[in-house]
Amino acid sequence: MTKEVILKSTEGLHASLAVKLVKAAEKYAVDIDLHYKDKVVDLKSILGLMSLAIPKGENVRIVATGQKAAEAIEDIKKVLK
């Protein structure tokens, strides 16, 4: 399952937002990645997320596979808004 989202955080993808994303992703036994431009990182990796340095207003794509992929994506979307 794939969903595109606009990062609305006023500071972009900063450390505290990355921590929230990892915590939300870790609740699910699914493979979940964040795609930004030509980069793909595991949403359960704080270092991977921080390496993206995504500014405010950018489009990102969440890709999840597994039984609760849709539920995981919805939780991640809530954190990104």
* DSSP three-state, residue 75: helix
Q: Where are the beta strands (DSSP E) in the chain?
A: 2-6, 31-36, 39-42, 59-65
Give the catalytic positions in this structure. 14
* DSSP three-state, residue 32: strand
